[in-house]
Structure 1
């Protein structure tokens, strides 16, 4: 059966964030000119779209969105979920619904982005505990018979409370990367040039390579330099082997115990946190076969949790992306899981170093969702692999097959079960 459902509510206390990350499977891709309320359709038992998902999901109690954008954003303070719809061949509109009931909320005015035939992207950003939804698009504007076209990043910033909008257009001459990992909107060229947009005022601050404040004595910092994210103190920047916060801390000074302090590479950034990969100290027994993965506080650089995991046979084209539970207590990234309360990390891998499990979301109870036999988190979110979940300690786990390989830590244990003949138990 062709899948159309985009989002379903969860039962058993599984939070909406996990739903958003796991069930971004199969938007129909159809154009839609329906009225706002028709995009959020309540499901009756007879209408349930068939999905292969863990048992915690209850399609008969959910709602669906049809013909929407690939991106979604949720406000933790208001419970509103934001999404984009195509109003016509060239115009789009941001709409919101209540994430529990599916009831329509406020919606913005229709607008035409610089690249009208591609869905704009959607993010959220928090400034001084106030949330905003952000849509952005990149393309050419102003071309006519007398003047060439300008290329810009077009931003629309919406207040989550009432939908009031601020438009910001930033001239940009290369394909941009736009992120909201800090108290502002970061536009980067993937190298050393960037701009920071204040969501509240719309003010744009350009940052060039000389302003990145390279750490003294760091020979590799000007090699493969890349702006990675934004913090309260300044930009997070990486070089070939080390990373730093502009005018703040330097990775060499916060290197975890047992690692080569000159080897840190940030692989993923979320608000408040960085996931970095470190080489083990050359004297360590597993230095040639394992790396250490560490979650750092983005404002101080302090290591918060870590785990050793075997090196891949082939260097990946993209490292696993960090995903946080709404409370920030639990984190997952591909085969990795972290419990910040206990400062523990876990690497789900076989004895031969293979990593059959890919985690893509986690909730505040420590229940993680993902899939076995998936290439990466993007593959999981696209519906690839065999769905898996790690039930909380209060849940009664399924019987473990005789062939299972299990490890347990007390007092809280959770199980990660896949469709295969194994089950691994770990506390996250």
Structure 2
């Protein structure tokens, strides 16, 4: 496996590595002995037979035992990547073929700037190439010298594992997202850095450099970088949102919405889910909101659906989950068929959510649960599991102990389960037929 290191900012000093409480802080992720060829323990799917939806069979498939909490899937490459611990406070990225469960390429072990926590893992696509990206945040410098903090990113080509590293000086707690062709580091406000996954080049934008759409007084309040589109950074204010150098939400408001009220709630590659107030003067404007999926390139609304306003505004909106082909999107109790340009809000007569969706397949099935706190709770077995069909817009209950797939790709449903020894199992069960 080829490997190259790109350092865009020289960070002085040595890494300050904490030794105390490593295992207690990191949790129960997988470990290896540092040998490149040794994966986390793996066995055929039947070794652990979960109760799964009838669309899948447990008579075949594969299983990874002892994977870390961070894992991701490359749909184009047909690979699942997961992190494991290696000796000397290091980590290693490993891959398996989604269809067969056979071991794929394995990265060399490396040490993050903060070895006490598992690095995060995500995917990004640029120039028809998809990458797995691990990132972590830490500091360098010791003694009387000033301490410098930075974000460390290791970028792997999903096809062959070619790797390069990028280190970006950063103050404050960062968030790294991959909603566009580049990686975006942000601070929860308007400061950001964009990292090209192909070249490793970094372009920083300070909050003082942000420009606002003409006439948008709310854009300068609570300004936040939400992600990236193919046209540039997506930002929002207290109300309204815009793409830097591109479109402005006021100009692309969906029919029936107050054009000054848009708030993006979730950003996915190529798509933006936004919440709008209904235009004044209507009876439903006092009780309902409009949820719209926008095309991230043009900003144009693709499909909208009305939902009751919650009695108490949530502190965090549900994140959108998109099927691998991009045909379907679910978020909380919302479901959208993007090809048919149709949507549905699953709520009862009082306006209370009926379902919480957690995953969606290209076959037009969404999985979720009733009475679950959120999508993560539904995937952990909380609530009453259900399967919803986009053909009928109806849902059917599943067996109470059914585990829901985190996703489906290459005809394989990927399920996650933690055993009594706190080991994470990743299981791939084939779709029936």
TM-score normalised per structure 1 = 0.83
Classify 1:44/1:258 alpha carbon distance in 2 versus 1 (closer, same or farther; 3 Å): closer
Shift of 1:74: 1.6
Q: Distance in 1 between matches of 2:384 and 2:86?
A: 35
The answer to whether the 8 A contact 2:53-2:398 is kept is no
User: Which residue in the other structure is 2:396 paired with?
Assistant: 417
> Cα offset for 1:89?
5.2
Q: Name the residue aligned to 1:55.
A: 54
Q: Distance in 2 between matches of 1:382 and 1:69?
A: 16
| Offset of residue 414 of structure 1 | 4.7
Question: Structure 1 residues 292, 372: CA separation in 2 closer, same or farther (over 3 Å shift)?
Answer: same
Structure 2 vs 1, CA of residues 225 and 323 (structure 1 numbering), >3 Å: closer, same or farther?
A: same
Q: Pick from 264, 267, 276 the counterpart of residue 266 of structure 1.
A: 264
Instruction: String of CA shifts for 1:70-118, please: whole Å, max 9, x gaps.
Output: 2222222220111110112510001111011111011111000011021
Structure 1: unaligned runs, 5 residues or longer: 1-26, 393-411, 422-428
Deviation at 1:378, TM superposition (A): 1.9
Q: 1:44 to 1:228 in 2, by over 3 A?
A: closer
**What is the distance in 2 between the residues matched to 1:345 and 1:118?**
39
1:378 aligns to what SS in structure 2?
helix
How does 1:16-415 map onto structure 2 within 5 Å? 29-33=28-32, 38-39=39-40, 41-43=42-44, 45=46, 47-49=47-49, 51-88=50-87, 90-141=89-140, 143-391=141-389, 412-415=391-394
- Give me the CA root mean square deviation: 2.0
Q: Distance in 1 between the 2:248 and 2:285 partners? A: 23
The whole-number CA distance in structure 1 between the counterparts of 2:350 and 2:77 is 46
Residue in 2 that maps onto 1:21: none
Deviations 1:141-188 (A, max 9, x none): 2x2234232111000001112111111000011100100000100000
Give me the whole-angstrom Cα distance separating, in 2, the residues matched to 1:317 and 1:379. 17
**More off after superposition, 77-86 vs 30-39:** 30-39
Contact kept, 8 Å, 2:137 with 2:174, in 1: the verdict is yes
Q: Take 1:282 and 1:93, find their aligned partners in 2: how far apart are those partners? A: 55
Aligned length: 373
Per-residue Cα deviation, 1:321-350 (whole angstroms, up to 9, x for no partner): 111111111110010000111211100111
Long gaps (5+) in structure 2: 1-25, 401-433
Q: Compute the displacement of 1:298 (Å).
A: 0.7
**TM-score, length of structure 2 as denominator length:** 0.82
Deviations 1:21-64 (A, max 9, x none): xxxxxx9825522665552523364x324x34322233332222
Task: Determine which structure has the larger strand proportion and give its number.
Answer: 2
Aligned residue for 1:60, secondary structure, equals coil
The whole-number CA distance in structure 2 between the counterparts of 1:258 and 1:420 is 40
